[in-house]
Amino acid sequence: MTFNIGNQQAGQITNVTGDQTVYGGITGNASFAGGADLASLRQVLDRLPLTVDQRSQLLTAVDDVEHALRGPDRQAAARPLRWLASRLKAWGALAAAGESVAGPLVRLAGLLGPVAVQGMQALLR
């Protein structure tokens, strides 16, 4: 049997031909693309001057973006991300938060591709 291993990135990689015995277990950590920006958005939304209903709607949209980004179809995140940005702008929260909210929104759009980034930048102007 032959394995063709492509690009590998990790703290430690062990490629073994034959048998390998591991004592003490193997552990690892994984992070998900966009996780830090989603956490930043949630923190910013908690501090913005919004009604309880507005904040709830926005946090639901953040949850929808996260769910879509974790799924097989990342493009599904585009709709709730655009909605989130448009509501922030319409409710004046975008002006209040500035880069602390615009930066994470643009970076999240970056996970969807260049067209999404351009669209998000245009929406946030």
pLDDT per position as a tens digit, 41-86: 999 999 999 999 999 999 999 999 999 999 888 889 999 999 999 9
Contact 82, 115 (CB under 8 A): no
Q: Looking at per-residue confidence, does 93 or 64 come out higher?
A: 64
Q: Looking at per-residue confidence, does 54 or 25 come out higher?
A: 54
Contact 48, 93 (CB under 8 A): yes
Q: Is the pLDDT confidence value at 1 over 60?
A: no
Q: Is the pLDDT confidence value at 96 over 90?
A: no
Alpha-carbon Rg for the chain, nearest whole angstrom, is 20
Torsion on CA atoms 96, 102, 103, 104, rounded to nearest 10 = 100
Q: Looking at per-residue confidence, does 48 or 29 come out higher?
A: 48
Exposed, middle or buried by CB within 10 Å (0-12, 13-18, 19+), for 53? exposed
Q: Is the pLDDT confidence value at 8 over 70?
A: no
Give the per-residue pLDDT at 4: 62
Give the per-residue pLDDT at 98: 85
Instruction: Say how many CA atoms lie within 13 Å of 74 toward its Cβ.
Output: 11
Overall average pLDDT of the 104-113 stretch:
92
Give the per-residue pLDDT at 25: 80
